Chain A
Amino acid sequence: MSVIPAPFSYHRPKSIAEATALLAEHNDEARILAGGQSLIPMMKFRLAAPEHLVDVGAIAELKGIQRVGDALVIGAMTTQHELQLSKTATDAAPILKEASLLIADPQVRYMGTLGGNVANGDPGNDMPAVMMCLDAAYRIMGAAGPRTVKARDFYEGTYATALATGEILTAIEIPVPPAGHGYAYEKLKRKIGDYATAAAGVVLTTRGGRIATCAIALSNLADKAVLATDAAATLIGTALEKPALDKAIAAARAIMSPAADTRGTTEYRTAVGGVMVERALRRALARAKG
C-alpha cells in the first residue's frame, strides 16, 4: 500500500516572478510547496498528485517579519518556529506566538510556514482564525499582478479559498492591535501533534473594564475558519456577565458545524467549542488593560 507519492517534477525558483511564471506554465498541474507539512502527507496518501511541485523555499522575498508603521508584515515563508522567536511579532500581536505554540509539534513547526498554514484552507489549521481575529490581509501575487484579500473574506470552504490557480500568497499584513488589548487562543486537542477538537481565538479591547471591541474566531468547528460576529457583538459594553456571556456562547455555537470524527461527535465538539470560546474570552478580558 505504501505511503509513497505519485511521480512529480520538482522546481525551485529563486524569485516570485520566476515562480508565477512556472505556475502559469503548468497551471492546474502545478502546486506550490512551502513547508510541506500538509501537502506532502496528502501526496503520500495520493490524495494530491501534482505533476509539478514549485518549491518556494529559495525565494528570499517571501521571508522575514517587519513592523511597518501600524502594520506587522510577515513573509509567507516564515516558519512557525521563526515566528515564535520574533520579538517584533510577539510585541505587536502576542496571540501569534500563543497560537503558534499550540500547532502540531516542534518538528512540524520547524518546517511549516505561516503562508502555508493560512493558504492551505484546511479548517483544522489554527492560523486562519487568528488572522481573522486580528483582521489581517493577505498579499497575493499572480500573473495578472498583485492584489490583497482580507482573511475574513478569504475562506470559502474546505480547501477552497480566494486564491486563484497560479497565485502565490506572498505576505500577511496585520494591523497592530492597540496596546493593552486582550487576547487568547484556547485549543482543546487530544495530544501534542493533533489538530483541534475545538479552538477559539479572541482579540478584544476594553474601556473602563468593559469590552469595547471584540473579535472571536473559531478553528476546526465548521468547514472553514469562521468569525463569530454575532457572539462578539453581544458582548460589547459587558464584562462578560451573564446572561450576555451565555447569549454570546450560544451565538458562537449556532455557527459551529463540526463533523463527527475520532475527536468526538458533532454534539461534543460543539459543546466544547462553546467552552473554548468562554475560556478564551475570560482569559482575554483578564489580560486587557483599559
Chain B
Amino acid sequence: MNIAVPTREQREAKLEGMGCKRKRVEDIRFTQGKGNYVDDVKLPGMLFGDFVRSQYAHARVKKIDDSKALKVPGVLAVITAETLKTVNLAWMPTLAGDVQMVLADGKVLFQNQEIAFVVAVDRYAAADGVEAVEVEYEDLPVLVDAFKALAPDAPLLREDIKDKMTGAHGPRRHHNHIFEWSMGDKDLTDAAFAKAEVTTKDVISYHRTHPSPLETCQCVASFDKIKGELTVWGTFQAPHVIRTVASLLSKIPEHKIHVIAPDIGGGFGNKVGAYPGYICAIVASIVTGKPVKWVEDRIENLTATSFARDYHMTTEIAATKDGKVTALRVHVLADHGAFDACADPSKWPAGFFNICTGSYDFPVAHLVVDGIYTNKAPGGVAYRCSFRVTEAAYCIERAMDIMAQKLGMDAAEFRLKNFVRREQFPYHSALGWEYDSGDYHTAMNKAMEAVGYKQLRAEQAEKRAAFKRGETREIMGIGISFFTEIVGAGPSRNCDILGVAMFDSCEIRVHPTGAAIARMGTKSQGQGHETTYAQIIATEIGIPADDIMVEEGNTDTAPYGLGTYGSRSTPVAGAAIAMAARKIKAKAQMIAAYMLEVHEADLEWDIDGFRVKGLPEKSKTMKELAWAAYNSPPPGLEPGLEAVSYYDPPNMTYPFGAYFCVMDIDVDTGVYKIRRFYALDDCGTRINPMIIEGQVHGGLTEAFAIAMGQEIRYDEIGNVVNGSFMDFFIPTAVETPKWETDYTVTPSPHHPIGAKGVGESPNVGGVPCFSNAVNDAFAFLGTRHIQMPHDYWRIWEVAKGLGLHG
C-alpha cells in the first residue's frame, strides 16, 4: 500500500474555510459576462414601461393629456394616478411610516417625480410615448433650503397630511415637520455644558448624495391571470420584504407571489425600498396580462430613487481644559425630501444616529433629530452604511478634530485620551447602546506607528513654515478618523421593518455524497456571499467550500429573511449559517457515534469529521456520515442531513477602525493629491481576508468620492444640477488613491463565529478621514470647519477666503 495520508494542514487547506483567501466563485460568471441581471430577463410578449416625469420641483398638475401618446405606434396604455385609484394604489406606504404618491396625484413635489407610466411594445415606442404625453402645470413656490422648511410662511408641501399633526413617530409641529426624535439625558447634558471649561459648537453638514449602483433599479412583473400568480424579478436587496409588501398592497396571497432577485449590480442601499416603477410594472402586467419590464436610466436613478445623507448636524462638545470630554449635544436637521421614505428599522426614524458618541467615553449626551420635508426626491437610505451611522461618524469625527484644535491638542492624542478603554466593554454608551467589544488603543497605536504619525506631523510643520515664507503654494493635511460602527440589525426587541422582525435565516441540505446547498434570507449585490458563506459552512462541518452551493434571492426556495444592507449579512445570516451548520454537526455526531460504536461524548471534531478521543485512527469523515445519514441512519433516527436556523441576534456588533490620510493641496487651483491612505479595520473574526480587502477598497473609493465631490445638488428652483455621471463624481482608477489596509482582530463575544461585518466600515470611516485631511491642511491658516464636499472649486474658495490669492 502506498497511499499518502494527507496531513492535517492539507485536510484543512482543502476545506478553504474561514481565514482562507478563497477566490470569489461568483467572479467566474461575472468576469465572462455571464451574470444574469434583471435586464437579461426576456419573456415572450414582454412589454416595456417608461415614466413621464415632472419638470418642476413643486407644481399643481392641471391636466395630463395622453391622446397623442396613445396614437404613437406601439404604445398600448398610459397609466396615471386616476388609473391607480381604481385599484387603490395611487399612493403607497413607505418603510418609514409615511405615504408616497406612486404617480402624481394632483401635484408634484420634486423634479422628475413620476407622473404617468407609458406601456408599449418596446423601449423605443415607450420613449416616444413619454415624449408625446402633454402635462399642464401651475408652478408653486419651491422649498429647497432645509433651514427654511420650518419657517412659519414656508410653502405647504404635503397637502395630504396638512391637518394630521401626529405622524408615525409622534407629534409634528409644522406642516413641513415629519418627526422629532430624541435620545439621551437632556438635563444632565445641559448641566455638564453649563459647567464645562471648554465647549465647541458647529453646524456640520453632510450633503445629499446618492448610492448610484452601476445597475440601476429595475424589474419585470408577470401576472398569470389563470393561476392568479404574480412573479416579479427585480433589483431587490430584500426580496422577502418586497413579497410581503406586495401581498399586503395587492391582496394577492403571499404564496402566490414569487419574488426573484437575480444577480444584482450593486445596491448600496438604493435597492432596499419599494419604488413607483415596481408598482406600475405590476399594475401594468395585471391590466395587460403580459409581462412588463421597467428599467431606470441613470438620470432617473440619480434624481428619483433613494438619495442618501442630507443631514445638518449642530454639534457641541464639552471638555475639560486638559482634554477630557464631558458631554455631547447634537441637533440634526434631517432633510427627507418630499416623502419620508427612509429605509430604517421602523422604530428608528433617524436610524442608529445615536451611535454619534463614537469611540469616546462621553459620560452624558443628548440628541434631537428633526425630520423635515423639502421639494427634493424622497429617500434617506443607508448608502453603504448601517442606518445613519455614516452621518454619526462624520459628525463626531469632525467635532473631535475641532475640539482638539480649540484645546491646542494633537488630534490623535485627544482621541487616545478619550477612547472607551478595553476593560470597559461591554460598554454602555450615553445614548443607549451596548458596545460588544473593542480595543481602540491597540488599533490606534498600531495605525499611528504604521503611518509614522510623528514624522508626518514634523514634515507638516516644515511645510507650513515654508508656505508662510512663500516658498511653496502647497499645503499638507493629515486626516484622522477613528470610527465605531453599529451593524447587524437586528435584535427583534428593537428592530423590525413594518412589523417584520429583523432576524435572518439559513437552510443547509447536505446531499448523500457530501456536497451541500445552502440557502439564505440575505441577497448579495456583489459582496461575495456565495464565496464567504460557503467558507463558514466548510469550517463548521468539514465539507470543502467548493462542494457547497450558496443560493439567495428566490423567495420560493430561500428561507424568509430581511435581506442585505446595513452590514447585516455576516452578523445575522452569518450567525444563522453557523447555527444551522451546528445542528447538522450534532446529528452527524449521533450517526458517527453509532457507526464507531462509542458514546457521542467520546467523539471529538477533527477538521473534516469525528474521531474517537484517544483513538485517532477510528474516525468518520463528514462525507461518510452524509452517506450514512441517508442510507443507514441509526435505528430511531430519521434519515437525511439538513437543518434550518432562524437567528435573532442578541445584540448588534460594533466594528471599528483607525484611518489616516495624507493630502497635499495646491491653493491656486484647489487641486489635491492623496499621497497616502491607510485603513486599519477591526471586524472581529476574518472570514476571507481577500474579500475584506476588496470591500475596504470599494468602500474607501466611495468615501473618497463623497468627501471630495460626489453630491446631489439642487438649484434654488429645485432642479438637480448634476444628475448624470458627467457631473456626479464617480472616480475612475486614475483618480482613486492607492489604499493600504491593515487590521486587528477583536471578535464579537456574542456572535457564534465572532464576526462583525466590514462592508460598510470604509465608507463610514473614510469620509471623515478625507474631510479631516482637508480641514487639517487649512487649520494653521485659521479655519475651523470647512463643509463637504471638497471639490476643487470649493477648496479654492476656502483659499480665496483666507486671502491666499494675493
Contacts and interface: CB of A to CB of B under 8 A. Distances in A.
B546 interface: no
Interface in B105-130: 112, 123-124, 126-128, 130
B791 A190 contact: yes
Chain B CB within 10 A, most for which of A2, A3, A190, A193:
A2
B796 A191 contact: no
B774 to A, nearest CB: 16
Interface in A160-219: 188, 190-194, 197
B604 interface: no
A2 B50 contact: yes
Contacts of A272: 668-670, 792, 796
Interface stretch (B199-207, B537-545, B721-729): B721-729
Interface in A104-124: 105
21 contacts: A1-B112, A1-B299, A2-B50, A2-B297, A4-B123, A4-B124, A4-B127, A6-B131, A188-B671, A188-B792, A190-B791, A191-B731, A197-B792, A197-B793, A262-B721, A262-B722, A263-B793, A265-B797, A268-B670, A268-B796, A269-B793
B251 interface: no
A24 interface: no
A192 B130 contact: no
Given A3-B297, A4-B127, A262-B713, 18 more contacts: A1-B130, A1-B297, A2-B130, A3-B299, A4-B124, A6-B131, A7-B124, A190-B729, A190-B791, A192-B732, A192-B734, A197-B792, A261-B721, A264-B796, A268-B793, A268-B796, A272-B668, A272-B669
Nearest to B112: A1
A122 to B, nearest CB: 13
A47 to B, nearest CB: 13
Nearest to A265: B793
A93 B51 CA distance: 50
A271 interface: yes
A40 interface: no
A191 B735 contact: yes
B14 to A, nearest CB: 43
Nearest to A267: B800
Nearest to B791: A190
A233 interface: no
Nearest to A269: B793
Contacts of A105: 732
B256 interface: no
A272 to B, nearest CB: 5
Nearest to B122: A4
B172 interface: no
A264 B297 contact: no
Interface in A76-93: none
A1 B126 CA distance: 9
Interface of A: 1-4, 6-7, 46, 105, 188, 190-194, 197, 261-265, 268-269, 271-272, 275
Contact of B727 (A2, A262, A275): A262
Given A262-B727, A264-B796, A271-B796, A191 B671 contact: no
Interface of B: 50-51, 53, 112, 123-124, 126-128, 130-131, 297-300, 668-671, 709, 713, 721-722, 726-727, 729, 731-732, 734-735, 791-793, 796-797, 800, 805
Nearest to B48: A2
Contacts of B298: 3
A269 B791 CA distance: 13
Chain B CB within 10 A, most for which of A46, A191, A261, A275:
A191
A139 to B, nearest CB: 32
B134 to A, nearest CB: 15
Contacts of B297: 1-3
B726 A1 contact: no
Contacts of A265: 793, 797
Contacts of B731: 191
Given A6-B128, A188-B669, A262-B713, A1 B732 contact: no
A263 B796 CA distance: 12
B128 to A, nearest CB: 7
A192 B792 CA distance: 15
A1 B118 CA distance: 10
B673 to A, nearest CB: 14
Contacts of A197: 792-793
B50 A1 contact: yes
Contacts of B732: 105, 191-193
B797 A268 contact: yes
Contacts of B669: 188, 272, 275
A124 B50 CA distance: 32
Contact of B53 (A1, A262, A264): A1
Contacts of A264: 792-793, 796
Nearest to B722: A262
Chain A CB within 10 A, most for which of B124, B297, B669, B734:
B669
Contacts of A7: 124, 128
B123 A2 contact: yes
A190 B126 contact: no
Contacts of A3: 297-299
A46 to B, nearest CB: 7
Nearest to B73: A7
Pairs A-B, 6 closest by C-beta atoms: A264-B793, A4-B127, A262-B727, A2-B127, A268-B793, A192-B734
A38 to B, nearest CB: 12
A89 B797 CA distance: 40
Contact of B51 (A1, A188, A271): A1
A58 B413 CA distance: 68
Contacts of B726: 193-194
Contacts of B130: 1-2
Chain A CB within 10 A, most for which of B127, B671, B729:
B127
B734 to A, nearest CB: 5
B734 A191 contact: yes
Contacts of A193: 726, 732
A224 B297 CA distance: 31
A2 B800 CA distance: 41
Contacts of B792: 188, 190, 197, 264, 272
Contacts of A192: 732, 734-735
Contacts of A261: 721
Nearest to A2: B127
Contacts of B671: 188
Contacts of A190: 709, 729, 791-792
A284 B68 CA distance: 59
Contacts of A188: 669, 671, 792
Nearest to A4: B127
Contacts of B123: 2, 4
A271 B709 CA distance: 20
Contacts of B50: 1-2
A263 B793 CA distance: 7
A94 B298 CA distance: 38
A197 B792 CA distance: 10
